[in-house]
C-alpha cells in the first residue's frame, strides 16, 4: 500500500513537471511579444486614419493661413478640432484619407477650452472615432497621436500618458481650462486638433499644445505634449452643435490669490459684483458652497455659472464673515479673447449690441421661457444711453414705445423710425423681472 502511494506521488510529480514544461514551451518569445505589440499599433493606425482629416484655414491675409488636424466624431459630418486652428478664418477645407479636399463650415468655437466644431455637408456617412472616458485614463498607459505636422499627412507617433490634470498656462490674457493630459508621444505644429488614442483606438484627448522651452521664442519639442481630455471636448462639442456657442458667466472683478482664498482687487461699475456689494480687499473663500482654492478654479466656477441665476458668495471683510448674493450675467466677448466690432444702429445710437434669441437661451437664462420673443442685449457700452438707462447685459428687449420687437431687424427699423425723438420707452425682461426703462437719446 505504501509502495502504491509512493508510485502515485512520483506519477503526480512527473505530470506536474511535464505540464510545466509544456506550458513553458507555449510561452511566446521576446520577438513574438514585440511583434504582437507592433501589430496592435499598426492595426490602430490603419483603423483610425479614415476618420482623421487635415484642416486648411484660409484668411483674407494669406500670411495668416493655418494648417491643423481634426477627426470625425459624428458620422453625419461633424469634425472636432482646436479653436486656435480655425479662429478668425474665412474659409475652411478638410483633406480626407483618399486625398480629396472638401469645404467645411464652422459650427461653433470656444476659446476657453480651445475646442471647435466644423461640419461637412454630405449625404454619405463618415467613419468616426469613438471617445473614451478620459476620467479612466491612467498615467503610464500607451498613447498614440495621429495628425499632420509640417504637412506630413497622417503622421503616427507613440508614447505613454505622462501626466494628468496639467496646468501649463501663466499670465494668459484670457481664461483657459487647465486640465490637460500630458504625453511624450511626438506632437508638433500641424498636429493640433488630431486625436490622442488608447490601445483600443478610442480618443482619450484632443492634441492641443506642446511645451515651450524657457528662453526660446517658439514652442519646440521638449518631451511634453498636451491634450484636451475627451470628456471635456465631447461636452463642449455637443453644446456647440446644439447652440452654436457656449454661454458663460461673468462677475466683474479683478482678483489675486491669497492664503484664505481670493482677494478682490477691483470691482467694475455696473457688474454683478458691484450690484452684489463686493468691495475692494474682500476675501472670497466660498462660492456656491464650494471652497475657493485658487484664481483659475474660481474663474472657472464663475464661467460655468448659469446666467441669470443667483450665486452665493461668502467673503471675509475686515475680519468678519459675510454672505453676498450676485446674479451672474453673460461674459463680455473680449474676456474670452474675441474682438468686438459693431456698426449697427442700436450700437451707434444706444450703445447696445443685440442678437437674436437662440436655441438654448431659455436653458441658460433662468428668466426666459421658450415662448419669449425679442432680442438679447449682448453688450452695453459704457457712457452710452443704454448704460445710463441701466439696461443690463443679457436682458431681453421685447418692445420699444409699445411696439413689439421680434428680431434684430425690427429693432433696427424702430430705432430708425424714432431717431428724431428725445427718449424711448423700452420693455425689457431680465433677472430683475419685467421692467419699463426710459432711454434718453443723445443729440
pLDDT at position 326 is: 95
Task: Label residue 18 by pLDDT band (50, 70, 90).
Answer: low
pLDDT tens digits for range 57-82:
988 767 667 889 999 999 999 999 99
DSSP 196-224: EE-TTS-EEEEEEEE---TT-SS----S-
Q: Tell me whether residue 418 is one of the annotated catalytic residues.
A: no
Task: Label residue 32 by pLDDT band (50, 70, 90).
Answer: confident
pLDDT higher than 70, residue 4: no
HEC secondary structure over 389-403: CCCCCCCEEEEECCE
pLDDT higher than 90, residue 19: no
Give the whole-angstrom CA distance, residue 79 versus residue 295: 33
pLDDT higher than 80, residue 427: yes
- DSSP, res 65: -
pLDDT at position 248 is: 86
Neighbours of 165 (CB within 10 A): 10
Contact 401, 392 (CB under 8 A): no
The mean per-residue pLDDT over the stretch 6-27 comes to 56
Helix (H) or strand (E) segment spanning residue 166: strand 155-166
Give the whole-angstrom CA distance, residue 207 versus residue 184: 12
Task: Label residue 334 by pLDDT band (50, 70, 90).
Answer: low
Give the whole-angstrom CA distance, residue 305 versus residue 364: 9
pLDDT at position 338 is: 61
Q: pLDDT higher for 152 or 392?
A: 392
| Helices assigned H by DSSP within 244-350 | 272-276, 295-303, 345-350
pLDDT higher than 80, residue 407: yes
Task: List the single range of 29-33, 207-211, 333-337 with lowest mean pLDDT.
Answer: 333-337
Task: List the single range of 78-87, 105-114, 167-176, 369-378 with lowest mean pLDDT.
Answer: 167-176
pLDDT higher than 80, residue 341: no
Give the whole-angstrom CA distance, residue 66 versus residue 57: 5
Q: Tell me whether residue 406 is one of the annotated catalytic residues.
A: no
pLDDT at position 403 is: 93
Task: Label residue 331 by pLDDT band (50, 70, 90).
Answer: confident
Longest Cα–Cα distance in the chain = 123
Which one is catalytic: 69, 84, 311, 431? 84
Dihedral (CA of 246, 295, 161, 150) sign: positive
pLDDT higher than 90, residue 295: no
CATH fold, domain 341-440, is Pdz3 Domain (2.30.42)
pLDDT at position 36 is: 86
pLDDT at position 13 is: 58
- Helix/strand/coil for 292: coil
Cell numbers representing residue 364 in the block = 441658460
CATH architecture of 249-330: Roll (2.30)
Helix (H) or strand (E) segment spanning residue 17: helix 2-26
Give the whole-angstrom CA distance, residue 27 versus residue 25: 6
pLDDT higher than 90, residue 299: no
Contact 158, 143 (CB under 8 A): yes
Task: Label residue 413 by pLDDT band (50, 70, 90).
Answer: very high
Which CATH number does the domain 48-119 belong to among 2.115.10.20, 3.10.20.30, 2.170.150.20, 2.40.10.10? Answer: 2.40.10.10
Q: Tell me whether residue 114 is one of the annotated catalytic residues.
A: yes
pLDDT higher than 80, residue 95: yes
Contact 170, 46 (CB under 8 A): no
Task: List the single range of 103-112, 180-189, 196-205, 363-372 with lowest mean pLDDT.
Answer: 363-372
Query: Within its chain, how far is the Cα of 308 from the centroid?
Result: 21
pLDDT at position 220 is: 52
Cell numbers representing residue 107 in the block = 459650427
Q: pLDDT higher for 89 or 119?
A: 119
The mean per-residue pLDDT over the stretch 193-217 comes to 83
The closest alpha carbon to 377, from 358, 359, 391, 360, belongs to: 391
pLDDT at position 26 is: 66
Which one is catalytic: 69, 162, 192, 230? 192
Give the whole-angstrom CA distance, residue 185 versus residue 156: 9
Q: Is 64 left (phi over 0), alpha (psi -120 to 50) or beta?
A: alpha
The mean per-residue pLDDT over the stretch 393-408 comes to 91
pLDDT higher than 60, residue 11: no
pLDDT at position 35 is: 86
Q: 134-243 in CATH: which number?
A: 2.40.10.10
The mean per-residue pLDDT over the stretch 370-386 comes to 87
Which one is catalytic: 83, 114, 184, 361? 114
pLDDT higher than 90, residue 118: yes
Q: pLDDT higher for 81 or 213?
A: 81
pLDDT tens digits for range 150-198:
777 889 999 999 999 887 665 454 567 778 999 988 887 788 899 999 9
- The pLDDT mean for the chain works out to 85
Specify the domain boundaries for CATH 2.40.10.10 within the chain.
Answer: 48-119, 134-243
- DSSP, res 380: E
pLDDT at position 20 is: 58
pLDDT higher than 90, residue 312: yes
pLDDT higher than 90, residue 37: no
Q: Which residues pair with 332 in a beta bridge?
A: none
Judging by DSSP bridges, how do beta strands 423-430 and 101-110 pair with one another?
unpaired
Provide Rg for the chain, Cα atoms: 29
Amino acid at each position: 500500500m505504501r509502495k502504491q502511494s509512493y508510485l502515485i506521488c512520483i506519477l503526480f510529480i512527473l505530470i506536474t513537471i511535464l505540464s510545466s514544461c509544456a506550458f513553458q514551451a507555449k510561452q511566446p518569445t521576446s520577438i513574438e511579444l514585440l511583434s504582437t505589440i507592433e501589430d496592435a499599433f499598426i492595426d490602430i493606425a490603419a483603423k483610425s486614419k479614415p476618420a482623421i482629416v487635415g484642416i486648411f484655414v484660409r484668411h483674407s491675409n494669406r500670411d495668416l493661413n493655418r494648417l491643423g488636424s481634426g477627426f470625425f466624431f459624428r458620422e453625419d459630418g461633424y469634425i472636432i478640432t482646436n479653436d486656435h486652428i480655425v479662429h478668425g478664418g474665412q474659409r475652411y477645407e478638410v483633406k480626407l484619407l483618399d486625398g480629396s479636399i472638401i469645404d467645411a463650415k464652422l459650427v461653433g468655437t470656444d476659446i476657453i477650452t480651445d475646442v471647435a466644431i466644423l461640419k461637412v455637408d454630405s449625404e454619405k456617412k463618415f467613419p468616426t472615432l469613438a471617445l473614451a472616458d478620459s476620467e479612466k485614463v491612467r498615467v503610464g498607459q500607451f498613447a498614440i497621436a495621429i495628425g499632420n505636422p509640417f504637412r506630413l499627412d497622417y503622421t503616427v507617433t507613440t508614447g505613454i500618458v505622462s501626466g494628468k490634470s496639467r496646468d501649463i498656462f501663466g499670465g494668459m490674457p484670457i481664461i483657459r481650462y487647465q486640465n490637460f493630459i500630458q504625453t511624450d508621444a511626438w506632437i508638433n505644429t500641424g498636429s493640433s486638433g488630431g486625436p490622442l488614442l488608447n490601445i483600443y483606438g478610442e480618443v482619450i484627448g484632443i492634441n492641443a499644445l506642446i511645451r515651450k522651452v524657457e528662453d526660446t521664442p517658439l514652442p519646440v519639442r521638449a518631451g511634453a505634449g498636451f491634450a484636451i481630455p475627451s470628456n471635456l471636448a465631447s461636452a463642449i462639442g455637443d453644446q456647440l452643435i446644439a447652440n452654436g456657442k457656449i454661454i458663460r458667466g461673468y462677475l466683474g472683478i479683478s482678483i489675486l490669490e491669497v492664503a484664505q482664498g481670493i482677494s478682490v482687487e477691483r470691482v467694475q461699475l455696473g457688474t454683478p459684483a458691484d450690484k452684489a456689494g463686493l468691495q475692494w480687499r474682500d476675501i472670497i473663500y466660498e462660492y456656491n458652497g464650494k471652497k475657493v482654492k485658487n484664481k483659475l478654479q474660481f474663474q472657472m466656477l464663475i464661467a460655468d455659472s448659469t446666467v441669470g441665476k443667483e450665486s452665493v458668495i461668502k467673503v471675509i471683510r475686515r475680519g468678519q464673515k459675510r454672505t453676498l448674493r450676485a446674479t451672474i450675467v453673460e461674459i463680455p466677448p473680449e474676456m474670452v479673447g474675441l474682438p468686438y466690432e459693431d456698426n449697427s444702429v442700436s450700437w451707434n445710437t444706444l450703445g447696445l449690441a443685440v442678437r437674436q434669441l437662440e436655441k438654448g437661451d431659455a436653458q441658460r437664462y433662468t428668466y426666459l421661457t421658450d415662448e419669449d420673443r425679442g432680442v438679447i442685449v449682448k453688450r452695453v457700452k459704457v457712457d452710452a444711453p443704454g448704460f445710463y438707462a441701466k439696461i443690463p447685459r443679457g436682458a431681453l428687449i421685447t418692445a420699444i414705445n409699445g411696439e413689439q420687437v421680434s428680431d434684430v431687424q425690427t429693432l433696427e427699423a424702430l430705432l430708425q423710425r424714432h431717431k428724431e425723438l428725445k427718449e424711448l420707452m423700452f420693455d425689457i425682461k431680465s433677472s430683475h423681472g419685467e421692467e419699463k426703462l426710459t432711454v434718453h437719446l443723445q443729440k
